[in-house]
Amino acid sequence: MLLSLDADSRAKYAGRPEALRERFPCSGADASWLVGAGASDLERFARGLLGKRWNEVRAVMALSSRVSPHLGSLYRRWLSTHPASACSHSTPLSPGAREAERALESMCSGLSGHPLSASYAGDLLRFEVLARCSSEDHMPRTVRTSVAVHLWWASLRRGVLPFDPPLQPMLYVFEDQVRWSPAT
């Protein structure tokens, strides 16, 4: 599964399946599949798995994905070069929240200055992901934003997108509930 998410490994696999067997030691049925599966099979599986991961992540950032419809392609491109590790995750976060938090800074960087992104897209994404993660694991998180997300959060939930909210730096603390104060 991890192999299929790693774009470099898929490219290497397309040309030399034995090389991947050295990189990912396995035996029996796994080894037979690794050597026997065609590159198109692996690409099709990768697209399906990337789509499934995106659906889990999108559920965590539903409002952000409305404001920035290209988030899915940003996430899939990032995931192709940053596959999750195979270790077991002992966290109360859902898979989507864990993955959204892992990808958060890279996705915010991808939104910054993107011609299809609203000026506040990164702030909204940070607010939404950190609020969700804190609500799931009850761990405090903080974020500084350049706009007062809480002032138009309810409007966003109703489907009204702010055009150009005024700059108003804020500090948000997510614990049992969200608290905010002007950032200094």
User: How many angstroms separate the CA atoms of 127 and 140, rounded?
Assistant: 13
Residue with tokens 């409007």: 155
Can you tell me the distance from the alpha carbon of 180 to that of 173, in angstroms, rounded to the nearest whole number? 6
pLDDT at 100: 97
Q: Which of 155, 16, 165 is nearest to 8 (CA)?
A: 16
The backbone torsions φ and ψ at residue 21, rounded to the nearest 5 degrees and listed phi first, read -60, -35
142/148 Cα distance (integer angstroms): 14
d(CA 159, CA 156) in angstroms, rounded, equals 5
Pairing relation of β-strands 141-147 and 178-182?
A: unpaired
Find out whether 162 and 130 touch, Cβ atoms under 8 Å: no
- Element (DSSP H or E) covering residue 97: helix 95-111
Separation CA 98–CA 66 (nearest Å): 20
Instruction: Tell me the C-alpha distance between 74 and 132, whole Å.
Output: 20
Residues 6+ apart with CB under 8 A from 44: none
Question: Distance between CA atoms of 106 and 133, rounded to whole angstroms?
Answer: 17
Cβ count near 83 (within 10 Å): 18
pLDDT along the chain (184 residues), means of 10: 60 67 72 69 71 91 94 91 71 94 96 88 97 96 96 90 90 93 92
Asked if 148 and 158 count as a contact pair (C-beta separation under 8 A), the reply is no
67 neighbors 111 (Cβ within 8 angstroms): no
Q: Which residue has the tokens 């490994």?
A: 9
